[in-house]
Amino acid sequence: MRKFKILCLSALALFLCSSAIAGSKEDAFQVVERWTKAFTEADVDTIVDLYAADAVFIGTGSKAITTKPEDIKKYFQGAFLGSRRFVATLVESSITPAGDAAFVITALDKLVVTVDGKTQDVFGRVTFVVAKREQGWKIVSFHRSAMPV
């Protein structure tokens, strides 16, 4: 009987832990979904707010590693200048736990880029590291690169 109780308690603990991880995984992925929506809407302030204050950032057009929120903001302000518009979609993604309160979200994406009424599909590879912070789930590392041809 004692072995049965231990087995039941162990199973319950495992279930509760896996449920917590699943919920956290969904919370982390929601940050990426909010990022994608804000990117499509060219909402620079919302995008920047999704990053942790100490985030590391390398955008598709970056020539250096960015570590300051104001530089991330400048990057996106520059990307959305003029008549260029984007629609971002994750084509395929994978979520990997990276500790108790962090996930690596790796994806292939598609940007529909419109410039002066002409539309082009641009495919890329993107990695988000999302971690739980005092302020909630935040992007702590970001990298996007163009898909090789």
Tens digits of per-residue pLDDT, 29-53? 999 999 999 999 999 999 999 999 9
Q: Which domains does the chain have, with CATH numbers?
A: 2-146 (3.10.450.50)
Contact 106, 143 (CB under 8 A): no
HSE toward the beta carbon, residue 52, CA cutoff 13 A:
18
- Residue in this structure with the two tokens 């039941």, named with its chain if needed: 8
Q: Is the pLDDT of residue 11 over 90?
A: no
pTM of the model: 0.83
Task: Give tens-digit pLDDT for 56-112.
Answer: 999 999 999 999 999 999 999 999 988 888 999 999 999 999 998 999 999 999 999
pLDDT tier, 20 (very low <50, low <70, confident <90, very high otherwise): very low
